[in-house]
């Protein structure tokens, strides 16, 4: 095909259209796969060398899975496609006039078509200083940090001679009652009670507290009321204290102030809202609904037909309503854009508008319990958890991961064991330091 000019758009020296994809999450990877092994020159740029399966990250934070179980090197995933190059770099800007993506180390990458799939990040609503004490759950680093703080707090509590300090260290606070907050609360409660009963000698399960704080009137706001009521009951049974209508006023190293309550704690987790990546700023356009890039029905950026935005960073509409920031939306948008680019660049054919197919909104509540909302009907309990597990195993990036995670879940289901209860050396500074460390 060298030297041939494709019907639509400019080409590289070999005569191939150049597509650059920024971000190799659910959306970017799905787009890249659709363009794999075609006569299109594809470059995928990501600041991480791995693709991360965020829906299972809470299991890394609560020691059920290891980081490698939920991530895979991007080069490995895309290595089989001869026309795809992978670059490890942070994108810092886009020059839409020159059709170039700017990289952190001063270089730039030219494109004919650009796909922006840079996802979202946690929103601290102007309190950036809270981030240090209340990490969100978006990266492997954060999941390991939470795991570390959680496990160390229990170790410190075991050593503490002060009953009040013991109680504080055994108290975990989760801020934000969305699916991530609820999943974390249930999993921490299960992990903590299991560890105390089985492995610690000087701790009482009754002294452990898991507090889930939500500023709004209900948790799991996107779910119907019957599922929310069910989730509340399960959480209560698991020993989780749910506080709604309680905006947080202050977060420090070992204390959360919410309403009139001052809660001393050994571990704080943030799950209170996300905002889009700064990609709208790169394009000089105004982001909407948390900084998301408004897109047309074909997912091209309004006013910039050669640039597409997909996944969490895009604001797509369906029947006038914003599509949710979910993996299934991101994946479907990636597949759609990949196919649309193939049609346009190789066959000069247009594509119809993107349509989202809702496969059900889900959240895990406690040990082997989940809820599913399919729109017209709902599902809850153990069967919902099996369905959740099936779907999540299926969505994992390759067969090896599916097998590994399935085996670990079956083992954990039968034994309740958590195989990844590891604390890094030199991590003592992550927890309140009122307890003197002694050799055990
Ligand atoms: C804890 C948690 C649990 C979740 N559970 C569910 C669930 O059960 N079901 C569900 O449907 N959804 C779930 N979600 C939401 C889902 O993970 C997101 O909707 C999905 O990841 C969005 O995909 P994306 O491709 O847009 O972004 P991401 O998957 O976040 O990928 C973005 C990629 O862009 C890269 N990137 C960002 N900025 C730059 C830059 N400047 N330069 C280079 N690279 C960059 C990042 O490194 C990343 O690889 C969950 C999210 C979290 C955090």
| The pTM of the whole model exceeds 0.85 | yes
- Detail the DSSP E strand segments found in 129-208: 171-175
Residue 345, pLDDT above cutoff 80: yes
Q: Would you say the CB of residue 104 lies under 6 angstroms from ligand 1?
A: no
Residue 415, pLDDT above cutoff 50: yes
In a domain? residue 398: yes
Residue 62, pLDDT above cutoff 80: yes
Q: Which residues have a Cβ under 8 Å from the Cβ of 31 and sit 6 or more positions away?
A: 21, 115, 117, 310, 334, 335, 337, 338, 341
Q: Would you say the CB of residue 70 lies under 6 angstroms from ligand 1?
A: no
Residues 152, 176 within the same domain: yes
Take atom 50 of ligand 1 and give the residue whose Cα is closest: 55
In a domain? residue 70: no
* CATH number, domain with residue 305: 3.50.50.60
Question: Domain boundary residue among 290, 314, 347?
Answer: 347
Residues 302, 398 within the same domain: no
Name the residue range of residue 118's domain: 4-47+89-122+274-347
138-151 average pLDDT score: 95
In a domain? residue 329: yes
Give distance in angstroms: CA of 315 to centre of ligand 1: 15
Residues 397, 375 within the same domain: yes
246-263 average pLDDT score: 95
Residues 191, 215 within the same domain: yes
Lowest-confidence segment of 93-102, 302-311, 368-377, 422-431 by average pLDDT:
422-431
Pocket test for ligand 1, best of 326, 393, 395 (most atoms within 8 A of CB): 326
> pLDDT exceeding 90 applies to what percent of the chain?
74
User: Tens of pLDDT along 276-287?
Assistant: 999 999 999 999
Say how far residue 184 (Cα) sits from the centre of its chain: 13
Residues 17, 114 within the same domain: yes
Q: Would you say the CB of residue 388 lies under 6 angstroms from ligand 1?
A: no
User: Tens of pLDDT along 353-401?
Assistant: 999 998 889 999 987 899 999 988 999 999 999 898 888 887 776 767 7
Of residues 403 and 42, more confidence is placed in 42
Q: Checking phi first, is residue 191 left (phi over 0); if not, alpha (psi -120 to 50) or beta?
A: alpha
**161, 239, 419 from 206: Cα distances, Å:** 17, 9, 24
Looking at the structure of the chain, the number of domains it has is 2
Residues 232, 263 within the same domain: yes
Residues 374, 409 within the same domain: yes
In a domain? residue 40: yes
- Report d(CA 242, CA 212) in Å as an integer: 5
Which ligand 1 atom lies nearest to the CA of residue 313? 26
55-64 average pLDDT score: 91
Helix H or strand E encompassing 190: helix 179-199
Give distance in angstroms: CA of 197 to centre of ligand 1: 36
The residues carrying an active-site annotation are 183
Q: Rg for the chain (alpha carbons), in Å? A: 23
Lowest-confidence segment of 147-151, 155-159, 214-218, 414-418 by average pLDDT:
414-418
SS3 49: coil
Q: Would you say the CB of residue 299 lies under 6 angstroms from ligand 1?
A: no
């Amino acid at each position: 095909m060298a030297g041939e000019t494709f019907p639509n758009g400019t080409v590289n020296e070999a005569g191939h259209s150049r597509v650059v994809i920024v971000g190799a999450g659910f959306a970017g990877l799905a787009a890249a796969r659709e363009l794999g092994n075609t006569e299109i020159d594809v470059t995928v740029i990501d600041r991480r060398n791995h693709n991360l399966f965020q829906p299972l990250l809470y299991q890394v934070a609560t020691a059920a899975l290891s980081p490698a179980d939920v991530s895979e090197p991007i080069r490995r995933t895309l290595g089989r496609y001869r026309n795809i190059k992978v670059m490890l770099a942070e994108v810092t800007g886009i020059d839409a006039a020159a059709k170039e993506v700017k990289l952190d180390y001063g270089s730039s990458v030219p494109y004919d078509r650009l796909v922006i799939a840079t996802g979202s990040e946690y929103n601290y609503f102007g309190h950036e200083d809270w981030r240090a004490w209340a990490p969100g759950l978006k990266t492997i680093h954060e999941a390991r940090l939470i795991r570390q703080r959680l496990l160390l707090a229990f170790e410190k509590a075991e050593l503490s001679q002060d009953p009040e300090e013991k109680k504080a260290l055994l108290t975990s606070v989760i801020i934000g009652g969305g699916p991530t907050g609820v999943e974390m609360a249930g999993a921490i409660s299960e992990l903590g009670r299991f560890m105390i009963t089985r492995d610690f000698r000087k701790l009482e399960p009754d002294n452990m507290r898991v507090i889930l704080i939500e500023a709004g009137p209900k948790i799991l706001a996107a779910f119907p009321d019957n599922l929310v009521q069910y989730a509340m009951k399960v959480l209560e049974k698991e020993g989780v204290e749910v506080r709604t209508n309680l905006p947080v006023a202050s977060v420090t190293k070992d204390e959360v102030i919410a309403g009139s309550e001052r809660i001393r704690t050994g571990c704080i987790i943030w799950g209170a809202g996300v905002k889009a990546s700064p990609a709208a700023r790169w394009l000089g356009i105004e982001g909407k609904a948390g900084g998301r890039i408004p897109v047309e029905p074909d997912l091209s950026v309004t006013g910039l037909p050669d640039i597409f935005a997909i996944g969490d960073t895009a604001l797509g509409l369906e029947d006038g309503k914003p599509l949710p920031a979910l993996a299934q939306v991101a994946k479907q948008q990636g597949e759609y854009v990949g196919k649309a680019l193939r049609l346009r660049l190789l066959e000069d054919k247009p594509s119809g508008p993107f349509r989202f197919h809702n496969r059900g909104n889900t959240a895990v509540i406690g040990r082997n319990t989940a809820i599913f909302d399919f729109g017209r009907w709902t599902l809850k309990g153990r069967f919902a958890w099996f369905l959740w597990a099936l779907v999540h195993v299926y969505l994992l990036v390759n067969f090896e991961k599916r097998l590994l995670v399935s085996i670990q879940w079956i083992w954990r289901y039968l034994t309740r064991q958590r195989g990844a209860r590891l604390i890094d050396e030199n991590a003592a500074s992550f927890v309140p330091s009122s307890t003197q460390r002694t050799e055990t």
